[in-house]
Amino acid sequence: MTQEQEHKEGQEQQLAVHYKDIIRLLGEDPQREGLQKTPLRVAKAMQVLTRGYEMDAHKVLTEALFKEDYSQMVIVKDIDFFSLCEHHMLPFYGKVHVAYIPNGYITGLSKIARVVDIFSHRLQVQERMTLQIRQCIEETLHPLGVMVVVEAKHMCMQMRGVEKQNSITTTSEFSGAFNQAKTRQEFMNLINRKS
């Protein structure tokens, strides 16, 4: 077993102890048959849902960096994501749409989706996640412009509080060439067009 695996397993055990206490504090019996393995299952699930802390989004983009003279908009739309709201640790989920205008370099298209995965697999708020995705692409690729739009449903609004089932939150971040309304509108038209 590697040192990293030992560390991860140690983390799992520590988390499981705390989840067992939480189950007890909620008024349940953690020794009940259906709950005996729940603390460890939740610990493992939380490690998966927060694995973005262990990954470097900039490195992901540079691993597939190619010199290319293409200077028109590159769009990767409808990237599914799931994240955990840092306020209630309940899921929020939806789609991310990303566009950038290359400035001599492009990256592998799947790397854009990986960047979304990395930032969404952390305790988050939608506004910060939108900003982090835009900043990462901008700082790594140095494009002529970047735009990110995130559309999400928040379980903290659906399951508790106001309990609004059909609300969608939209956030956007843009820079460079996307500061021009015409360029932003072109992007919005393209992501809203039916495939």
Q: Which residues are known catalytic residues? A: 85-88, 126, 154, 156
User: What's the sign of the alpha-carbon dihedral 168, 174, 180, 182?
Assistant: negative
How far apart are alpha carbons 183 and 1 in whole angstroms? Answer: 52
User: What's the sign of the alpha-carbon dihedral 23, 27, 29, 34?
Assistant: negative
How far apart are alpha carbons 123 and 144 in whole angstroms? Answer: 30
* Alpha carbon separation from 26 to 20, 21, 43 (Å, rounded): 10, 9, 17
User: What's the sign of the alpha-carbon dihedral 22, 23, 25, 30?
Assistant: negative
